[in-house]
């Protein structure tokens, strides 16, 4: 069931002033966080990619199974067939894009590719999805899939929580996940010898939520692992001492009915919204997992630590946009945020089959572009993210890399939003 743009506009006019403001702020956050119109101290060729444009494929079985995007359109993915030694190997990457925590912010997504396949187009395959061995040394010839994200809940929503009051919102994240898996298994993934499920931001959270299920769907003899990029979101108070992210996740989980997709052992002992935080999810994951995360994740600094609704927007504005502009006092707070991340990873680090690449860059996702691997990519122990992830996946060596505090790493690409 696809909803027309005119229907969306008609519904939009019915929103209250408060809803409009909430929705506008939500869209601004999405566009601001995932826009890469910026100046950088690194060379521009970090973003010059030898990439393929891959067309969108709509899920054939989605209509029968009821797996719809927020607006009722069919979900989609992009597929590039593997070749040579990679013919029976699969790497999947789940797109990021935040979450929607209210009817207003979810409805806002209906007019974007984050809520409707009507706005999805072909995409470039780069980074971990690149076909070029110079950019992607270990996975370049694998079957490659980019899963589009259009449900607003990291593929954790359930239809029982849908509203039937004229808003026409579909909370089908869990069904989308299942439908995508069914179609890829039919395409040949059921015979995979090796597979890697990855994702960035909200897509990385989806990777963690569904990691064990991904393992269970593939042959027992296959080597199956997961990689989550820029998705270890912290349950930390903001600079005003408020649990901004905790409240936000509570709204997301309640709105979408996401509790049913979260670890049962966690939901049995604490509020389901707390089980949406990666620190709780990883305790239940049995499949080998690799984390790529910047210690100064700009998305978390701008939304978890210093959200836009903070009472101190002017004081933090320059720092939020460019870490080079932070005062010594602000850097002390950011170093404390980094320490919270490292403390949260304490138990994760102890397990042999797990790996990590925690650099000290002011950036967000790093696996889908040339920061994955190249001469100007961030490095730890003189190795790129791709090299460290490859060492971990193929058991060449244990990889648990943690960078020194900012500004010690000259290989970092640090985002600058002051001109955006």
- Per-residue pLDDT tens, the chain, 420 aa: give them: 333 334 333 433 444 444 443 444 444 444 444 433 333 334 344 444 455 799 999 998 899 999 999 999 999 999 999 999 999 999 999 999 999 999 999 999 999 999 999 999 999 999 999 999 999 999 999 999 999 999 999 999 999 988 755 678 999 999 999 999 999 999 999 999 999 999 999 999 999 999 999 999 999 999 999 999 999 999 999 999 999 999 999 999 999 999 999 999 999 999 999 999 999 999 999 999 999 999 999 999 999 999 988 766 688 999 999 999 999 999 999 999 999 999 999 999 999 999 999 999 999 999 999 899 999 999 999 999 999 999 999 999 989 999 999 999 999 999 999 986
What does the buried/exposed string (b/e) look like for 249-274 if buried means 16 or more CB atoms within 10 Å of the residue's CB?
bbebbebbbbbebbbeebbeeeebbb
Q: What per-residue confidence (pLDDT) applies to 274? A: 98
Q: Which residues are catalytic?
A: 201, 297, 364
Helix/strand/coil for 331? helix
What does the buried/exposed string (b/e) look like for 143-178 if buried means 16 or more CB atoms within 10 Å of the residue's CB?
bbbbbbbbbbbbbbbbbebbeeeebbbbbbbbbbbb
- Nearest alpha-carbon partner for 230 in 206, 246, 253, 213: 206
Q: What per-residue confidence (pLDDT) applies to 37? A: 33
- Nearest alpha-carbon partner for 184 in 54, 53, 1, 61: 61
| Dist CA 92 CA 284 (whole Å) | 21
Backbone angles phi, psi at 406, to 5 degrees: -55, 140
Q: Which residue is listed with tokens 């002390």?
A: 332
- Nearest alpha-carbon partner for 321 in 17, 37, 72: 37
Helix/strand/coil for 76? strand
Q: What per-residue confidence (pLDDT) applies to 370? A: 87
CA distances from 299 to 31, 56, 90, 200 (A): 12, 27, 29, 12
As a whole number of Å, the end-to-end CA separation of the chain is 37
- As a dihedral over the C-alpha atoms of residue 312, residue 253, residue 171, residue 150, rounded to 10 degrees, the angle is 50
| Dist CA 232 CA 355 (whole Å) | 13
> Which alpha helices (DSSP H) does 345-399 contain, by range?
346-350, 385-393
CA 396, 367, 259 angle in degrees (round to 5)? 100
- What are the strands, taking DSSP E only, across 217-376? 223-229, 289-294, 355-359
Neighbours of 201 (CB within 10 A): 27
Looking at the domain that runs over 5-416, which CATH code has it been given?
A: 3.40.50.1820
Helix/strand/coil for 176? helix
**Which tokens in the block code for residue 314?**
């002017």
Q: What per-residue confidence (pLDDT) applies to 314? A: 80
Q: What per-residue confidence (pLDDT) applies to 360? A: 97
3-state helix vs strand vs coil in the chain, percent to 5: 40, 15, 45
């Amino acid at each position: 069931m696809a909803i027309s743009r005119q229907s969306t506009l008609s519904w939009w006019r019915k929103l209250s002033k408060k809803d409009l403001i909430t929705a506008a702020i939500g869209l601004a956050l999405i566009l601001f966080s995932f826009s890469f119109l910026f100046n950088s101290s690194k060379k521009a060729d970090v973003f010059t990619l030898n990439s393929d444009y891959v067309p969108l494929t709509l899920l054939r079985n989605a209509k029968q199974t009821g797996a719809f995007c927020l607006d009722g359109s069919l979900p989609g993915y992009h597929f590039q067939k593997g070749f040579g030694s990679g013919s029976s190997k699969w790497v999947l990457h789940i797109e990021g894009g935040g979450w929607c925590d209210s009817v207003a912010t979810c409805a806002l997504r209906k007019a974007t590719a984050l809520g409707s396949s009507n706005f999805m187009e072909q995409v470039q395959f780069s980074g971990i999805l690149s076909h070029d061995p110079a950019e992607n040394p270990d996975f370049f010839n694998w079957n490659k899939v980019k899963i589009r994200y259009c449900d607003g809940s990291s593929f954790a929503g359930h239809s029982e929580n849908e509203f039937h009051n004229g808003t026409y919102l579909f909370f089908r994240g869990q069904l989308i996940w299942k439908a995508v898996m069914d179609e890829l298994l039919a395409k040949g993934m059921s015979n995979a010898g090796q597979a890697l499920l990855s994702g960035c931001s909200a897509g990385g959270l989806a990777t963690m939520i569904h990691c064990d299920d991904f393992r269970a769907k593939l042959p027992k003899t296959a080597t199956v692992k997961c990689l989550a990029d820029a998705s270890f979101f912290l349950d930390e108070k903001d600079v005003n001492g408020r649990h901004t992210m905790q409240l936000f996740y509570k709204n997301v989980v309640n709105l979408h009915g996401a509790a049913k997709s979260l670890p049962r052992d966690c939901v049995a002992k604490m509020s389901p919204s707390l089980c949406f935080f990666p620190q709780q999810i990883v305790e239940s994951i049995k499949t080998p997992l690799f984390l790529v995360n910047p210690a100064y994740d700009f998305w978390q600094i701008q939304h978890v630590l210093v959200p836009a609704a903070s009472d101190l927007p002017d004081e933090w504005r320059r720092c939020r946009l460019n870490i080079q502009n932070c005062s010594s006092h602000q850097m002390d707070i950011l170093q404390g945020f980094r320490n919270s991340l490292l403390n949260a990873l304490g138990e994760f680090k102890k397990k042999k089959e797990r790996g990590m690449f925690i650099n000290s860059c002011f950036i967000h996702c790093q696996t889908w572009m040339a920061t994955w691997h190249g001469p100007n990519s961030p490095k730890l122990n003189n190795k790129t993210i791709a090299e460290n992830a490859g060492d971990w996946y193929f058991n060449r060596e244990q990889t648990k890399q943690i960078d020194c505090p900012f500004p010690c790493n000259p290989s970092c690409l640090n985002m600058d939003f002051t001109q955006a």
